[in-house]
Amino acid sequence: RFTGVSATVNRLWKFTQEELLGRPLMALVPKTEQANSLADFVRITEQPYHGELESIIRCKDGELKNFSW
């Protein structure tokens, strides 16, 4: 769940802070990508982890954008 939201995220994803706070990140990931994204996020919590992952986010206007974390 979102506990904080940066101004950059607001601008790129077109959601307000209030719209995102408390929502799970997976709510913004297309259903067809959720299993892969969830597996990637679990993987980066394992220690040690070096690298990045990519995820697709559905913006407020419906546009799909790729993001690297």
What sign does the dihedral 60-63-64-69 (CA atoms) show?
A: negative
Q: Is the pLDDT of residue 33 over 90?
A: yes
For the chain, the three-class secondary structure string (H helix, E strand, C coil) is CECCCCHHHHHHHCCCHHHHECCCHHHHCCHHHHHHHHHHHHHHHCCCCCCCCEEEEECCCCCEEEEEC
pLDDT at 22: 95
Give percent above pLDDT 90 in the chain: 67
**What confidence tier does 49 reach under pLDDT thresholds 50, 70, 90?**
low
pTM: 0.81
